[in-house]
Copies of this chain bind each other. A is one copy, B any other.
Amino acid sequence: MDGPGQEAQGGESLLFLTDEQLRKGIEAMFFAYRAFTADPDRILEKYEYGRAHHRALHFINRQPGLTVSTLLAVLGVTKQSLNRVLRTLISDGLVEVRVGKRDKRERNLYLTERGKELERELSEAQRARMRAAYRAAGPAAVAGFRQVLEAMMDPELRRHYLALRDEEA
């Protein structure tokens, strides 16, 4: 049922590091990521937004009050690129900007009610797919899934990922 795997450490089963296995993993990432973004993309079209808007909404929702520069670091895009997106979200009333308390140069970002609504709609679609996949694969598989993805991240990105993780605890 499980194929090879249990005897991991043994040294014998390094079969999972085959070029073929690695290529399968690469393709799995490609196809899965396409599916992963497909549902929100369909919703975004209705509102004339794009994937970049979704990402901004997601992280502002996750970390209300985060600064522009933090968001820049998390998203890994340039200030100019983010600003285009942020400007439309703000003027459409989905994102609210407040001047920083300690440091008045900083801008803290928050979702408005409307922003939260859209975020919920988008992420619910994405979560539905995730939930189905998780349920189909089971908890052990899910743990492995997360382990591999984490190991794949650049250390700096992993820091951001883990930061989000900890805040909720």
Most chain B CB within a 10 A radius of its CB, from A4, A25, A136: A25
**B140 touching A6 by the CB < 8 A rule?**
yes
User: A99 contacts which chain B residues (CB < 8 A)?
Assistant: none
Q: Mark A62-80, 1 if CB is under 8 A from B, else 0.
A: 1000000000000010000
Q: Determine the distance from Cα of A22 to Cα of B137 in the docked complex, in whole angstroms.
A: 13
User: A135 contacts which chain B residues (CB < 8 A)?
Assistant: 17
**B160 touching A31 by the CB < 8 A rule?**
yes
Take A20-B168, A141-B143, A151-B136 as given contacts and tell me if A130 and B25 are in contact as well, using a CB distance cutoff of 8 Å: yes
Q: Determine the distance from Cα of A149 to Cα of B25 in the docked complex, in whole angstroms.
A: 9
Q: State which of B31, B76, B134 has its C-beta within 8 Å of the C-beta of A161.
A: B31
Give the number of chain A interface residues (Cβ < 8 Å). Answer: 70
**A132 touching B161 by the CB < 8 A rule?**
no
Q: Mark A6-35, 1 if CB is under 8 A from B, else 0.
A: 101100010111011111111111111111
User: A30 contacts which chain B residues (CB < 8 A)?
Assistant: 55
Query: Oligomeric state, in number of copies?
Result: 2
Q: State which of B25, B144, B145, B158 has its C-beta within 8 Å of the C-beta of A25.
A: B145
Give me 19 other A-B pairs in contact (C-beta within 8 A), A17-B134, A24-B146, A143-B144 excluded. Answer: A5-B138, A5-B142, A6-B140, A8-B139, A17-B135, A19-B127, A20-B168, A25-B130, A25-B134, A26-B58, A28-B145, A29-B33, A35-B153, A130-B152, A133-B148, A137-B144, A141-B143, A141-B145, A141-B147
